[in-house]
Amino acid sequence: MQNFNLVAAQGEITIRRIGGVPKRPSWKGYTPLKQEGGRIIVGHSETGHHHVLAAAGAAVGVLDKPPEGMRILRAILDNPNVLEHLRPFDTHEPLMLEPGEYEIRIGREYDPYKELARRQAD
């Protein structure tokens, strides 16, 4: 298990500690994520190999209006938690997160061909 102080990555997930546990957190501009099976999925995978936090003592919201192609989340952890990658092989090492407030960003990529390529027409 990997510990960190300020910034860490787990595959396409970048997580940054932005403070301690706020006394009165405001979720304005964020939509809370629902737990699924006792976990909160912060990074979805097409193959089901999600990046997850345990739901106990965790609140996560997704930014309502992020820049195009981005997904930005805010997590408030009242207890220590672990960011896990749910894949039984070639997995990313779990990250131990101490109580506090975190920003989680999902990587994005630019595909120049998506904008340029189209079906040929005559």
Query: CA–CA separation, 43 vs 57, rounded Å?
Result: 19
Query: CA–CA separation, 115 vs 119, rounded Å?
Result: 12
- Look at residue 51 in the predicted model and tell me its pLDDT: 85
AA identity, residue 107: G
Residue whose token pair is 């981005």: 70
How many other CB atoms are found less than 10 A from the CB of residue 37? 8
- Look at residue 23 in the predicted model and tell me its pLDDT: 87
For 23-51, write each residue's pLDDT tens digit.
888 899 999 999 988 999 998 776 767 88
Show the low-confidence residues of the chain (pLDDT under 70).
Answer: 46, 48, 88-91, 116-122
Residue 79 per-residue DSSP state:
S
Stated pTM of the model? 0.82
